[in-house]
Amino acid sequence: MPALNTSSHSEAESHPLDLMEQVLGLYEWEFERLGPNEMVAQAPGQWCDYGLIFTWSDELSALHLNAVFDLHPPKKLRSNAYELIALANSRLWVGHFIVDAESRIPAYRHTLLMRGTSSLPSESMEDLIDIALSECDRFYPAFQFALWGGQSPQSALDAAMLDCIGDA
């Protein structure tokens, strides 16, 4: 990915979502600013497209990312989704998975706290996106196996975490 050129204005002067718009522009992804503190984007993943929701909190000085899967767990298997999320979260260093209380759709969430700083470097913005998409892609097969493949959450996670060598 090409580096973000911020020579025309200082990153320190930018609203975090203004800088995120520039980063998303480098990826050439579609995005829409819903207001001064909220933005949505569509990001391609290895298995599906992810809906990215960025929210800025002035009160917390925090940038929140919610990466939404395009998965709708069948009602009878929602407990599998919750168990799988608990297992997956124990393997994460950054962020966590949730099942949204209203939509019942799995998502990856992470918040960058920025108190005491005027802005994050663009590399931190890129890392936020890259880590989120990497974790979504890494665990997506486990959700498929547990919700539609008839596997237990532990078996689904074990199968998805196999490191394959080479290409078939």
Using CB atoms within 10 Å of the CB of residue 32, give its burial: 0 to 12 exposed, 13 to 18 middle, 19+ buried.
exposed
**φ and ψ of 57, to 5 deg:** -110, 115
Q: CB count, 10 Å around CB of 132?
A: 23
Q: What is the pLDDT of residues 64-86, one digit of tens each?
A: 999 998 888 777 777 888 999 99
What pLDDT is recorded for position 84? 93
Ordered by start, the domain boundaries in the chain are 14-137
| DSSP state letters, the chain | -PPP--TTS-GGGS-HHHHHHHHHHHHT--EEEEETTEEEEEEE-SSSEEEEEEEEETTTTEEEEEEE-S----GGGHHHHHHHHHHHHTT-SS-EEEE-TTT--EEEEEEEE-TT-S---HHHHHHHHHHHHHHHHHHHHHHHHHHTS---HHHHHHHHT----S--
Third-level CATH fold of 14-137:
Yope Regulator; Chain: A, (3.30.1460)
Q: CB count, 10 Å around CB of 96?
A: 13
Mean pLDDT of 157-163: 82
How far apart, in whole angstroms, are the C-alpha atoms of residue 81 and residue 78? 5
What pLDDT is recorded for position 11? 46
What pLDDT is recorded for position 100? 84
pLDDT at 10 over 50: no
Least confidently predicted of 6-10, 47-51, 66-70, 138-142: 6-10
